[in-house]
Protein backbone atom coordinates (compact mmCIF):
# COMPACT_ATOMS: atom_id res chain seq x y z
CA UNK A 1 0.00 0.00 0.00
CA UNK A 2 2.77 2.40 1.04
CA UNK A 3 4.55 1.51 -2.18
CA UNK A 4 1.41 2.23 -4.23
CA UNK A 5 0.90 5.59 -2.46
CA UNK A 6 4.50 6.50 -3.10
CA UNK A 7 4.28 5.68 -6.75
CA UNK A 8 1.08 7.73 -7.02
CA UNK A 9 2.82 10.61 -5.28
CA UNK A 10 5.81 10.23 -7.56
CA UNK A 11 3.51 10.18 -10.58
CA UNK A 12 1.74 13.32 -9.39
CA UNK A 13 5.04 15.10 -8.79
CA UNK A 14 6.26 14.01 -12.20
CA UNK A 15 3.04 15.25 -13.81
CA UNK A 16 3.26 18.57 -11.96
CA UNK A 17 6.87 19.08 -13.05
CA UNK A 18 6.01 18.45 -16.70
CA UNK A 19 3.03 20.83 -16.52
CA UNK A 20 4.58 23.42 -14.24
CA UNK A 21 4.18 26.27 -16.72
CA UNK A 22 0.44 25.63 -17.08
CA UNK A 23 -0.02 25.18 -13.34
CA UNK A 24 1.70 28.51 -12.69
CA UNK A 25 -0.39 30.19 -15.41
CA UNK A 26 -3.60 29.04 -13.70
CA UNK A 27 -2.37 30.01 -10.24
CA UNK A 28 -1.37 33.51 -11.36
CA UNK A 29 -5.04 34.10 -12.21
CA UNK A 30 -6.92 31.98 -9.70
CA UNK A 31 -4.74 32.00 -6.56
CA UNK A 32 -1.51 33.94 -7.05
CA UNK A 33 -0.12 32.90 -3.68
CA UNK A 34 -1.04 29.40 -2.52
CA UNK A 35 -0.47 28.28 1.07
CA UNK A 36 -0.69 24.58 1.91
CA UNK A 37 0.67 22.30 4.64
CA UNK A 38 3.40 24.70 5.79
CA UNK A 39 4.39 25.63 2.23
CA UNK A 40 3.67 28.70 0.13
CA UNK A 41 4.13 29.27 -3.59
CA UNK A 42 4.24 32.86 -4.85
CA UNK A 43 3.62 33.18 -8.58
CA UNK A 44 3.14 36.80 -9.69
CA UNK A 45 6.12 38.92 -10.74
CA UNK A 46 5.43 41.73 -8.26
CA UNK A 47 4.94 39.32 -5.37
CA UNK A 48 8.09 37.35 -6.16
CA UNK A 49 9.97 40.66 -6.05
CA UNK A 50 8.32 41.48 -2.71
CA UNK A 51 9.46 38.15 -1.21
CA UNK A 52 13.03 38.50 -2.43
CA UNK A 53 13.21 42.14 -1.29
CA UNK A 54 12.09 41.42 2.30
CA UNK A 55 15.20 39.53 3.36
CA UNK A 56 14.44 39.84 7.11
CA UNK A 57 11.01 38.28 6.66
CA UNK A 58 11.86 35.72 3.98
CA UNK A 59 15.11 34.15 5.07
CA UNK A 60 17.53 31.88 3.26
CA UNK A 61 17.13 28.23 4.30
CA UNK A 62 20.63 27.02 3.44
CA UNK A 63 22.67 27.58 6.66
CA UNK A 64 22.36 24.08 8.10
CA UNK A 65 23.62 22.39 4.95
CA UNK A 66 26.27 25.09 4.41
CA UNK A 67 27.59 24.23 7.90
CA UNK A 68 28.02 20.63 6.84
CA UNK A 69 29.71 21.56 3.56
CA UNK A 70 32.14 23.98 5.24
CA UNK A 71 32.63 21.73 8.30
CA UNK A 72 31.19 24.08 10.89
CA UNK A 73 31.11 27.53 9.27
CA UNK A 74 28.77 29.14 6.80
CA UNK A 75 29.01 30.75 3.36
CA UNK A 76 27.43 34.10 2.60
CA UNK A 77 24.51 32.68 0.62
CA UNK A 78 23.54 30.86 3.82
CA UNK A 79 23.66 34.04 5.94
CA UNK A 80 21.05 36.64 6.83
CA UNK A 81 21.73 40.31 6.20
CA UNK A 82 24.29 40.53 9.03
CA UNK A 83 27.63 42.28 9.43
CA UNK A 84 29.34 38.99 8.62
CA UNK A 85 27.37 38.75 5.38
CA UNK A 86 28.45 42.25 4.35
CA UNK A 87 32.06 41.59 5.35
CA UNK A 88 32.34 38.34 3.39
CA UNK A 89 30.64 39.61 0.24
CA UNK A 90 32.74 42.80 0.33
CA UNK A 91 35.97 40.84 0.70
CA UNK A 92 35.11 38.61 -2.24
CA UNK A 93 34.06 41.58 -4.36
CA UNK A 94 37.52 43.06 -3.79
CA UNK A 95 39.06 39.72 -4.79
CA UNK A 96 36.75 39.09 -7.80
CA UNK A 97 36.29 42.45 -9.48
CA UNK A 98 33.87 43.67 -12.09
CA UNK A 99 36.68 44.83 -14.41
CA UNK A 100 38.04 41.26 -14.47
CA UNK A 101 35.17 40.42 -16.80
CA UNK A 102 36.67 42.34 -19.70
CA UNK A 103 40.32 41.92 -18.68
CA UNK A 104 40.43 38.22 -17.76
CA UNK A 105 37.13 36.35 -18.05
CA UNK A 106 35.92 37.23 -21.54
CA UNK A 107 39.27 36.66 -23.28
CA UNK A 108 39.72 33.36 -21.42
CA UNK A 109 36.22 32.02 -22.11
CA UNK A 110 36.23 33.03 -25.79
CA UNK A 111 39.65 31.58 -26.48
CA UNK A 112 39.26 28.38 -24.42
CA UNK A 113 35.78 27.63 -25.85
CA UNK A 114 36.91 28.18 -29.46
CA UNK A 115 39.96 25.95 -28.90
CA UNK A 116 37.88 23.08 -27.48
CA UNK A 117 35.34 23.19 -30.32
CA UNK A 118 38.10 23.37 -32.94
CA UNK A 119 40.05 20.47 -31.51
CA UNK A 120 36.98 18.24 -31.16
CA UNK A 121 37.10 17.76 -34.92
CA UNK A 122 33.48 18.02 -35.99
CA UNK A 123 31.73 15.92 -33.37
CA UNK A 124 31.41 16.47 -29.66
CA UNK A 125 29.32 16.05 -26.56
CA UNK A 126 28.77 19.69 -25.64
CA UNK A 127 28.03 18.98 -21.98
CA UNK A 128 30.91 16.61 -21.29
CA UNK A 129 33.50 18.39 -23.42
CA UNK A 130 32.52 22.03 -23.19
CA UNK A 131 29.80 23.43 -20.93
CA UNK A 132 31.13 21.89 -17.73
CA UNK A 133 34.77 22.12 -18.75
CA UNK A 134 34.88 25.89 -19.37
CA UNK A 135 33.59 27.04 -15.94
CA UNK A 136 35.88 24.50 -14.26
CA UNK A 137 38.89 25.78 -16.21
CA UNK A 138 37.88 29.38 -15.56
CA UNK A 139 38.01 28.62 -11.85
CA UNK A 140 41.44 27.10 -12.38
CA UNK A 141 42.70 30.13 -14.27
CA UNK A 142 40.89 33.00 -12.55
CA UNK A 143 40.54 31.76 -8.97
CA UNK A 144 43.85 29.85 -9.08
CA UNK A 145 42.22 26.59 -7.97
CA UNK A 146 42.06 24.10 -10.86
CA UNK A 147 41.05 21.17 -8.62
CA UNK A 148 42.76 17.82 -8.06
CA UNK A 149 41.23 16.45 -11.28
CA UNK A 150 39.12 18.51 -13.66
CA UNK A 151 36.29 16.03 -14.06
CA UNK A 152 36.08 15.05 -10.41
CA UNK A 153 36.22 18.69 -9.36
CA UNK A 154 33.21 19.47 -11.58
CA UNK A 155 31.38 16.38 -10.26
CA UNK A 156 32.08 17.47 -6.68
CA UNK A 157 30.66 20.96 -7.29
CA UNK A 158 27.62 19.46 -8.99
CA UNK A 159 26.71 17.00 -6.23
CA UNK A 160 27.25 19.67 -3.53
CA UNK A 161 24.94 22.01 -5.46
CA UNK A 162 22.27 19.30 -5.65
CA UNK A 163 22.59 18.67 -1.91
CA UNK A 164 22.31 22.36 -0.99
CA UNK A 165 19.47 23.44 -3.27
CA UNK A 166 17.27 20.40 -3.92
CA UNK A 167 15.03 18.33 -1.61
CA UNK A 168 16.71 16.07 0.96
CA UNK A 169 17.98 12.77 -0.36
CA UNK A 170 20.23 10.63 1.87
CA UNK A 171 22.16 9.18 -1.12
CA UNK A 172 22.90 12.67 -2.45
CA UNK A 173 23.86 13.89 1.02
CA UNK A 174 26.35 11.09 1.51
CA UNK A 175 28.07 11.76 -1.81
CA UNK A 176 27.96 15.53 -1.33
CA UNK A 177 29.55 15.42 2.11
CA UNK A 178 32.34 13.20 0.78
CA UNK A 179 32.83 15.64 -2.09
CA UNK A 180 32.81 18.54 0.39
CA UNK A 181 35.56 16.94 2.44
CA UNK A 182 37.66 16.29 -0.64
CA UNK A 183 37.14 19.85 -1.88
CA UNK A 184 37.99 21.36 1.51
CA UNK A 185 41.16 19.27 1.72
CA UNK A 186 42.15 20.27 -1.78
CA UNK A 187 41.55 23.98 -1.12
CA UNK A 188 43.39 23.84 2.23
CA UNK A 189 46.38 22.35 0.43
CA UNK A 190 46.17 24.85 -2.44
CA UNK A 191 46.15 27.76 0.03
CA UNK A 192 49.03 26.31 2.06
CA UNK A 193 51.03 25.61 -1.12
CA UNK A 194 50.63 29.20 -2.30
CA UNK A 195 52.07 30.42 0.97
CA UNK A 196 55.05 28.07 0.84
CA UNK A 197 55.70 28.64 -2.86
CA UNK A 198 54.22 31.98 -3.95
CA UNK A 199 53.00 32.20 -7.55
CA UNK A 200 53.35 35.47 -9.42
CA UNK A 201 49.81 35.77 -10.76
CA UNK A 202 46.99 38.24 -10.27
CA UNK A 203 44.26 35.72 -9.45
CA UNK A 204 41.49 35.58 -6.85
CA UNK A 205 43.47 33.34 -4.47
CA UNK A 206 46.49 35.65 -4.47
CA UNK A 207 44.25 38.67 -3.93
CA UNK A 208 42.64 36.91 -0.95
CA UNK A 209 46.08 36.18 0.49
CA UNK A 210 47.05 39.84 0.05
CA UNK A 211 43.94 40.87 1.98
CA UNK A 212 44.95 38.39 4.67
CA UNK A 213 48.48 39.89 4.86
CA UNK A 214 46.92 43.33 5.22
CA UNK A 215 45.01 42.04 8.27
CA UNK A 216 41.56 42.19 6.69
CA UNK A 217 38.97 40.56 9.01
CA UNK A 218 37.26 37.48 7.56
CA UNK A 219 40.30 36.40 5.55
CA UNK A 220 41.88 33.58 7.57
CA UNK A 221 42.88 30.50 5.58
CA UNK A 222 39.61 28.79 6.59
CA UNK A 223 37.56 31.88 5.66
CA UNK A 224 39.22 32.02 2.24
CA UNK A 225 38.59 28.31 1.72
CA UNK A 226 34.91 28.64 2.66
CA UNK A 227 34.39 31.63 0.39
CA UNK A 228 36.01 29.75 -2.48
CA UNK A 229 34.03 26.57 -1.89
CA UNK A 230 30.76 28.54 -2.05
CA UNK A 231 31.75 30.27 -5.26
CA UNK A 232 32.91 27.03 -6.88
CA UNK A 233 29.62 25.28 -6.06
CA UNK A 234 27.67 28.26 -7.43
CA UNK A 235 29.70 28.49 -10.61
CA UNK A 236 30.14 25.11 -12.29
CA UNK A 237 26.83 23.18 -12.56
CA UNK A 238 24.83 26.38 -13.08
CA UNK A 239 26.89 27.63 -15.99
CA UNK A 240 26.96 24.20 -17.59
CA UNK A 241 23.19 23.80 -17.41
CA UNK A 242 22.44 27.32 -18.70
CA UNK A 243 24.76 26.98 -21.70
CA UNK A 244 23.46 23.50 -22.62
CA UNK A 245 19.81 24.53 -22.23
CA UNK A 246 20.32 27.61 -24.41
CA UNK A 247 21.87 25.55 -27.20
CA UNK A 248 19.15 22.93 -26.92
CA UNK A 249 16.44 25.58 -27.19
CA UNK A 250 18.04 26.85 -30.38
CA UNK A 251 18.24 23.33 -31.82
CA UNK A 252 14.53 22.96 -31.03
CA UNK A 253 13.79 26.18 -32.93
CA UNK A 254 15.68 26.13 -36.25
CA UNK A 255 14.47 29.59 -37.33
CA UNK A 256 15.95 31.09 -34.14
CA UNK A 257 19.10 29.03 -34.64
CA UNK A 258 19.72 30.71 -38.01
CA UNK A 259 19.55 34.20 -36.47
CA UNK A 260 21.64 33.18 -33.47
CA UNK A 261 24.33 31.74 -35.74
CA UNK A 262 24.44 34.94 -37.75
CA UNK A 263 24.86 36.91 -34.51
CA UNK A 264 27.63 34.55 -33.36
CA UNK A 265 29.54 34.78 -36.63
CA UNK A 266 29.28 38.60 -36.50
CA UNK A 267 30.43 38.59 -32.84
CA UNK A 268 27.26 40.41 -31.83
CA UNK A 269 27.77 39.58 -28.18
CA UNK A 270 24.94 41.77 -26.85
CA UNK A 271 22.49 39.99 -29.11
CA UNK A 272 23.79 36.62 -27.92
CA UNK A 273 23.14 37.71 -24.31
CA UNK A 274 19.50 38.29 -25.29
CA UNK A 275 19.36 34.83 -26.88
CA UNK A 276 20.61 33.34 -23.61
CA UNK A 277 18.19 35.39 -21.47
CA UNK A 278 15.17 34.45 -23.57
CA UNK A 279 16.11 30.77 -23.95
CA UNK A 280 16.48 30.52 -20.18
CA UNK A 281 13.24 32.41 -19.53
CA UNK A 282 11.41 29.77 -21.54
CA UNK A 283 13.52 26.90 -20.13
CA UNK A 284 14.41 28.17 -16.66
CA UNK A 285 17.29 26.93 -14.55
CA UNK A 286 14.87 26.22 -11.66
CA UNK A 287 11.22 26.80 -10.74
CA UNK A 288 12.14 29.37 -8.14
CA UNK A 289 14.04 30.41 -5.06
CA UNK A 290 13.42 29.02 -1.58
CA UNK A 291 12.89 31.01 1.55
CA UNK A 292 11.59 30.46 5.11
CA UNK A 293 9.02 32.96 6.38
CA UNK A 294 10.25 34.33 9.74
CA UNK A 295 6.96 36.00 10.83
CA UNK A 296 3.31 36.03 9.83
CA UNK A 297 3.31 38.19 6.73
CA UNK A 298 0.65 39.42 4.33
CA UNK A 299 1.88 39.43 0.76
CA UNK A 300 0.42 41.91 -1.80
CA UNK A 301 -1.25 43.74 1.08
CA UNK A 302 -4.09 46.04 0.06
CA UNK A 303 -4.88 44.09 -3.14
CA UNK A 304 -7.61 41.54 -3.81
CA UNK A 305 -4.98 38.80 -3.97
CA UNK A 306 -3.42 39.61 -0.56
CA UNK A 307 -2.58 36.38 1.27
CA UNK A 308 -1.23 35.63 4.72
CA UNK A 309 1.92 33.52 4.75
CA UNK A 310 2.33 32.01 8.23
CA UNK A 311 5.54 32.12 10.24
CA UNK A 312 7.68 29.08 9.51
CA UNK A 313 6.24 28.41 6.04
CA UNK A 314 8.62 27.17 3.36
CA UNK A 315 8.19 29.62 0.52
CA UNK A 316 8.94 29.17 -3.16
CA UNK A 317 9.36 32.53 -4.90
CA UNK A 318 8.54 31.13 -8.33
CA UNK A 319 10.86 33.08 -10.61
CA UNK A 320 9.89 30.76 -13.50
CA UNK A 321 6.29 31.94 -13.10
CA UNK A 322 7.25 35.59 -12.57
CA UNK A 323 9.11 35.63 -15.88
CA UNK A 324 5.93 34.44 -17.64
CA UNK A 325 3.62 36.91 -15.91
CA UNK A 326 1.86 38.82 -18.69
CA UNK A 327 1.09 41.69 -16.30
CA UNK A 328 4.80 42.61 -16.37
CA UNK A 329 6.23 40.72 -19.35
CA UNK A 330 4.90 41.70 -22.77
CA UNK A 331 3.64 38.67 -24.76
CA UNK A 332 5.45 36.28 -22.41
CA UNK A 333 5.09 33.18 -24.61
CA UNK A 334 6.96 34.82 -27.47
CA UNK A 335 10.71 34.71 -27.94
CA UNK A 336 11.72 38.36 -28.17
CA UNK A 337 15.23 39.72 -28.30
CA UNK A 338 14.49 43.26 -27.13
CA UNK A 339 13.24 42.73 -23.60
CA UNK A 340 14.71 44.90 -20.85
CA UNK A 341 17.11 43.26 -18.39
CA UNK A 342 14.64 43.81 -15.51
CA UNK A 343 12.29 41.26 -17.09
CA UNK A 344 14.69 38.49 -16.11
CA UNK A 345 15.21 36.83 -12.72
CA UNK A 346 17.54 33.98 -13.63
CA UNK A 347 20.08 35.17 -11.10
CA UNK A 348 17.71 35.94 -8.27
CA UNK A 349 16.76 39.32 -6.88
CA UNK A 350 17.46 41.46 -3.82
CA UNK A 351 20.10 40.82 -1.18
CA UNK A 352 21.30 37.44 -2.43
CA UNK A 353 21.29 38.25 -6.16
CA UNK A 354 23.86 36.00 -7.82
CA UNK A 355 27.45 37.02 -7.11
CA UNK A 356 28.31 35.81 -10.61
CA UNK A 357 25.52 37.61 -12.49
CA UNK A 358 27.83 39.61 -14.76
CA UNK A 359 30.25 36.73 -15.18
CA UNK A 360 27.28 34.63 -16.31
CA UNK A 361 26.24 37.05 -19.02
CA UNK A 362 29.76 36.83 -20.42
CA UNK A 363 30.58 33.19 -19.83
CA UNK A 364 27.36 31.55 -21.04
CA UNK A 365 27.15 33.50 -24.34
CA UNK A 366 30.90 32.94 -24.82
CA UNK A 367 30.50 29.16 -24.58
CA UNK A 368 27.39 29.18 -26.76
CA UNK A 369 29.05 31.40 -29.38
CA UNK A 370 31.92 28.98 -29.98
CA UNK A 371 29.39 26.28 -30.91
CA UNK A 372 27.12 28.54 -32.97
CA UNK A 373 30.00 29.66 -35.16
CA UNK A 374 30.43 26.15 -36.58
CA UNK A 375 29.26 25.49 -40.15
CA UNK A 376 26.52 22.94 -40.82
CA UNK A 377 25.85 22.60 -37.11
CA UNK A 378 23.45 19.82 -36.15
CA UNK A 379 22.26 17.98 -33.07
CA UNK A 380 22.96 14.25 -33.20
CA UNK A 381 20.83 13.19 -30.23
CA UNK A 382 18.39 14.87 -27.88
CA UNK A 383 19.85 16.50 -24.81
CA UNK A 384 19.95 13.96 -21.96
CA UNK A 385 19.09 15.17 -18.49
CA UNK A 386 19.65 13.35 -15.21
CA UNK A 387 17.63 15.67 -12.99
CA UNK A 388 18.49 18.32 -12.19
CA UNK A 389 21.36 18.65 -14.69
CA UNK A 390 21.90 17.96 -18.41
CA UNK A 391 24.49 15.22 -18.82
CA UNK A 392 24.84 14.99 -22.59
CA UNK A 393 24.15 16.95 -25.79
CA UNK A 394 25.82 15.51 -28.87
CA UNK A 395 26.43 17.68 -31.90
CA UNK A 396 28.19 17.54 -35.27
CA UNK A 397 29.51 20.26 -37.55
CA UNK A 398 31.71 20.52 -40.62
CA UNK A 399 35.35 20.64 -39.84
C1 LIG B 1 25.43 30.58 -14.68
C2 LIG B 1 24.35 30.44 -14.07
C3 LIG B 1 24.02 30.85 -12.67
C4 LIG B 1 22.75 30.88 -12.21
C5 LIG B 1 21.47 30.51 -12.96
C6 LIG B 1 22.84 31.35 -10.84
C7 LIG B 1 21.73 31.57 -10.06
C8 LIG B 1 21.78 32.14 -8.80
C9 LIG B 1 20.62 32.48 -8.03
C10 LIG B 1 19.16 32.29 -8.46
C11 LIG B 1 21.04 32.98 -6.85
C12 LIG B 1 20.17 33.47 -5.70
C13 LIG B 1 19.99 32.40 -4.66
C14 LIG B 1 19.05 32.84 -3.57
O15 LIG B 1 18.69 34.02 -3.49
O16 LIG B 1 18.67 31.97 -2.76
C17 LIG B 1 22.49 32.96 -6.88
C18 LIG B 1 23.29 33.38 -5.86
C19 LIG B 1 24.65 33.26 -5.88
N20 LIG B 1 25.44 32.83 -6.94
FE21 LIG B 1 24.80 32.30 -8.77
N22 LIG B 1 24.14 31.56 -10.52
C23 LIG B 1 24.92 31.27 -11.61
C24 LIG B 1 26.30 31.37 -11.69
C25 LIG B 1 27.13 31.74 -10.67
C26 LIG B 1 28.56 31.91 -10.76
C27 LIG B 1 29.39 31.77 -12.03
C28 LIG B 1 29.00 32.21 -9.50
C29 LIG B 1 30.38 32.48 -9.00
C30 LIG B 1 31.34 33.02 -9.68
C31 LIG B 1 27.85 32.26 -8.63
C32 LIG B 1 27.86 32.53 -7.28
C33 LIG B 1 26.75 32.84 -6.53
C34 LIG B 1 26.81 33.27 -5.14
C35 LIG B 1 28.05 33.41 -4.32
C36 LIG B 1 25.50 33.55 -4.75
C37 LIG B 1 25.05 34.08 -3.39
C38 LIG B 1 25.05 35.58 -3.42
C39 LIG B 1 24.67 36.18 -2.09
O40 LIG B 1 24.31 35.45 -1.15
O41 LIG B 1 24.78 37.40 -1.97
N42 LIG B 1 26.73 31.98 -9.37
N43 LIG B 1 22.92 32.44 -8.09
Helices (H) and strands (E) in the chain, counts: 17, 12
Domains of the chain by range and CATH? 31-396 (1.10.630.10)
pTM confidence score: 0.95
Q: What is the pLDDT of residue 5?
A: 57
Which of 298, 296, 318, 347 minimizes the C-alpha distance to 41? Answer: 318
Condensed to tens digits (0 to 9), the pLDDT of residues 127-140 reads 999 999 999 999 99
Condensed to tens digits (0 to 9), the pLDDT of residues 209-232 reads 999 999 999 999 999 999 999 999
Please tell me the distance between residue 49's alpha carbon and the centre of ligand 1 in angstroms: 17
Contact 348 CB / ligand 1 (< 6 Å): yes
Which of 158, 147, 150 minimizes the C-alpha distance to 133? Answer: 150
Q: Has residue 1 got a pLDDT over 50?
A: no
Which of 361, 373, 376 minimizes the C-alpha distance to 115? Answer: 373
Mutate-to-test residue for ligand 1 from 85, 234, 279, 285, highest number of ligand atoms within 8 A of CB: 234
Q: To 10 degrees, the CA torsion angle through 254, 260, 261, 262?
A: 120
Q: What angle do CA 138, 62, 49 make, to 5 degrees?
A: 85
- CA–CA gap between residue 310 and residue 314 (Å, rounded): 9
Contact 230 CB / ligand 1 (< 6 Å): yes
DSSP assignments along 319-361, one per residue? HHHHTT-TTTSSSTTS--TT--GGG--TT--GGG--TTHHHHH
Specify whether the CB–CB gap between 328 and 46 falls below 8 A. Answer: yes
Please tell me the distance between residue 364's alpha carbon and the centre of ligand 1 in angstroms: 14
Report which secondary-structure segment, H or E, holds 66. helix 63-70
Q: How many CB atoms are closer than 10 A to CB 143?
A: 22
- CA–CA gap between residue 249 and residue 245 (Å, rounded): 6
Q: Has residue 3 got a pLDDT over 90?
A: no
Residue 43: φ, ψ to 5°: -115, -20
Q: What angle do CA 279, 280, 282 make, to 5 degrees?
A: 70
Percent pLDDT > 70 in the chain is: 98
Q: What is the pLDDT of residue 4?
A: 53
Point out the least confidently predicted range of 16-20, 263-267, 274-278, 294-298. Answer: 16-20
Amino acid sequence: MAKETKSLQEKLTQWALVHLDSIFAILRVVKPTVVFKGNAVVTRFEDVVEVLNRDWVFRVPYAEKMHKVTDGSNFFLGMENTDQYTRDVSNMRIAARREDITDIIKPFVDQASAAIVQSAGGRMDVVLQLTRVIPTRLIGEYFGTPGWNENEFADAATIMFQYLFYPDDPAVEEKALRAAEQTRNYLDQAIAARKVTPVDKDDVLNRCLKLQEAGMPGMTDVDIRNNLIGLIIGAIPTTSKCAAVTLNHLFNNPELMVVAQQAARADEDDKLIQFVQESLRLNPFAAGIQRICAEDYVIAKGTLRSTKIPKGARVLAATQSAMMDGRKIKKPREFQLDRPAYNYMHFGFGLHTCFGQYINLTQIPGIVKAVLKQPNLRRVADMKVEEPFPVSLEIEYDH
